[in-house]
Chains A and B, each alone.
Chain A
């Protein structure tokens, strides 16, 4: 158990358009979802933490108006990249804690490769 499904796996969009990435917890309720960004050959950098029913907490340097995060239910968190530009091209990954009852840890979505042209 503790599977997070992330869609789409990859997306190509035109500069100036918006793209939505979804992460769903399939067999558990994820009260908290972490959103990471990963550049090629680099590590994962936390962008924001979303909590169900409340505003997301963004890391320093992350533009709140560009990266809109919504966590409207216990099984769905979304990241919308607004007015995307080529510099937003990256790999985005979501993550949630394993649910209570399991050994402490984190499960990850399969990631979304965003290319802005």
Chain B
């Protein structure tokens, strides 16, 4: 069974600054995918970034990047130049292979201060 843990229930960042959200996971599989999803007040789940476990290079998507530490089973999300629109719940999630369901962490509520 997979588990995903987000140790920060809430985080706060000043607009234009950088914030890092933590995520650790546990799996015995060697092939898996990791994701960060954003859930704004509308509650629509939005994919922020994905990482394939076999890729050593950290994924980046514009202002969003990850620090994937496979041996430590850590998958943190860095948001640079934070914007007010980044305020949301952020969920870390994993799946062991194609076709399986996602396992979600407990979420981190990110607040952005103007």
Which residues in A have some Cβ–Cβ distance to B below 8 Å?
32, 34, 38, 41-46, 49, 91, 93, 95, 97, 103-106, 108, 110-111
Asked if B91 lies at the interface with its beta carbon under 8 angstroms from chain A, I say yes
Q: Which of A38, A41, A44, A104 contacts B50 (CB 8 A)?
A: A104
Q: Which of A44, A49, A97, A111 contacts B104 (CB 8 A)?
A: A44
- Is chain B's interface secondary structure helix, strand, loop, or mixed overall? loop
Q: Chain B residues near A95: list those with CB within 8 A.
A: 45, 102
Residues of B whose CB lies within 8 Å of any CB of A are 33, 35, 42-45, 47, 50, 52, 91, 98-99, 101-107, 109
Contacts of A42 in B (CB 8 A): 106-107
Q: Are B107 and A43 closer than 8 Å at their CB atoms?
A: yes
Chain B residue contacts of A105, Cβ below 8 A: 33, 35, 47, 50
